[in-house]
Structure 1
């Protein structure tokens, strides 16, 4: 009887072990998926090697780098601001001819006349020109006047570096614009009338300061872009025998005229003292009367 129970127990134990092994095999999805459904990995994936470092992914390909040049780095700086001015005085033989030559030189150098003034005297003719010329053509213009127009009597050229002033004004202008936007936002959220009035007054002052700064920058840009040259064309008049006042007769007549004018001026000066002339006889009369009374005593 005991042998029968022992044999039955061993049989059941063996059946249970086999069942557990079958369940463990069937319950493994990785093995089943790999053996049944999952295909082997493609050859391209097997042959692809991982990058050595992350920076290698960011490096451009050799073909792309050779085709697309690297963009230059933008430098946030203000270029040099140089204002050039000049003064020239040239003696010429004929004003009209010299004026024609000046017009051709101006046209060649893209310059223009801003102001023109002509004076005709007994001694000379003088044509004053204020010329505006592009900065790059200033030196060529001055050289052209020096070489082909006439004899240069005087020349003065000056350069003024206003880069620092331009930079300071630009920085202050940018800051004022930032503050202006902030005050405009504050105006939208203002809750009282007093705050609105104060903010509007501040905005008005900022707008005026911005207009002044922008005007100053425009003025500097104009003076930098176009240089200014003051040109004087001078022609001394040649005296003829009919118009000359240097001869003896002319000098004698001028001397007589000048002497007569001096005499008239002297006479008029004496007449201007007529109140004092009236006082003198009175003083003389009183002095004689006083002297006569003293003699009697």
Structure 2
């Protein structure tokens, strides 16, 4: 009996020592795999991406798509008032300057008064030639009486409109896909109304972008050519006889106008006798 118990005791003792060694090995392995500073809870998931940022837009599949960098948009405008000696000669010089700078006249207006001649021009010129055109007018046409030049940076406005336009086009495609799978007539009408509103907004945004591009690519210059007339030279050619006859004519015309004005009051003349009759009758009753 002792011979059986003694080997069994040694076997149990060996198994216990092995189990303790295995537990220590497992604990050591876990400490090596998961350090203490990484045992803490995992960080929360990142927030969902924004709808569309200013640097990217979403494609129809929802994948961000980078928008091309928009170059700076600057609108240049100006106005000049120039005194010249001869309007026709100045026009010839202006045509040469316009051809040289690839510009054109958008609007032209001429006025001839007793004191001066005016030629007002609205000129459109490529953006890169604007400064050269202004210098040509300042140096070669006449005496510059006034000059105002302004620059307006519309890059931010152009960028905002472009981003909103990209958003609206994405929503428009999604609404069109929803329209294909609409189950009821009410849903179809609501989706069609949303599509119509988006199409109108897209047309307005695209029109605004085209307008900004036009103003950026072609600058506007308002030019007013001015020639003063010398009144003394004109009046000196009129003799005394002509001026005397003109005075008689003006006097006669004034008398005729006065006479016709009196005649136009004839209804009041008809009332005058009736008023006098009533006044006398009232006076006689008062005396009695």
Q: Same fold (TM over 0.5)?
A: yes
Match for residue 184 of structure 1 among 150, 171, 176: 176
Residue 208 of structure 1, aligned match among 200, 204, 224: 200
- Distance in 2 of aligned mates of 1:276 and 1:246: 48
Match of 1:124 in 2: 116
From the superposition, tell whether residues 177 and 253 of structure 1 become closer, same or farther in structure 2 (CA, over 3 Å): farther
Q: 1:78 deviation in Å?
A: 2.7
Residue 244 in structure 1 maps to residue 235 in structure 2: yes
Q: Which has the larger radius of gyration?
A: 1
Unaligned runs of 5+ in 2: 1-65
The equivalent position to 2:99 in structure 1, one of 82, 104, 107, is: 107
1:80-91 alignment, distance < 5 Å: 80-91=72-83
Contact 1:86/1:228 (8 A) holds in 2: yes
SS of equivalent residue, structure 1 residue 142: helix
1:221-240 correspondence to structure 2 within 5 Å:
221-238=213-230
Judged with a 3 Å threshold, the aligned counterparts in structure 2 of structure 1 residues 251 and 147 are, in CA distance, closer, same or farther, namely farther
Change in 2 beyond 3 A, CA 1:162/1:248: farther
Counterpart mapping for 1:11-160 below 5 A: 76-160=68-152
Distance change (3 Å), C-alpha of 1:279 and 1:152: same
2-structure distance, mates of 1:140, 1:112: 14
Instruction: Provide the alpha-carbon RMSD of the alignment.
Output: 2.7
Shift of residue 237 of structure 1?
Answer: 3.5
In the alignment, structure 1 residue 220 sits paired with structure 2 residue 207: no
* Alpha-carbon distance change, 79 to 260 in structure 1, aligned in 2, over 3 angstroms: farther
Q: How does 1:271-282 map to 2 (within 5 A)?
A: 271-282=263-274
Which stretch of the first structure deviates more once superposed, 202-211 or 262-271?
A: 262-271
Shift of 1:77: 3.8
The number of residues matched between the two structures is 222
Cα distance 1:85–1:279, how it changes in 2: closer, same or farther (>3 A)? same
- The separation in 2 between residues aligned to 1:256 and 1:156, in whole angstroms, is 50
Q: TM-score when scaled to structure 1? A: 0.66
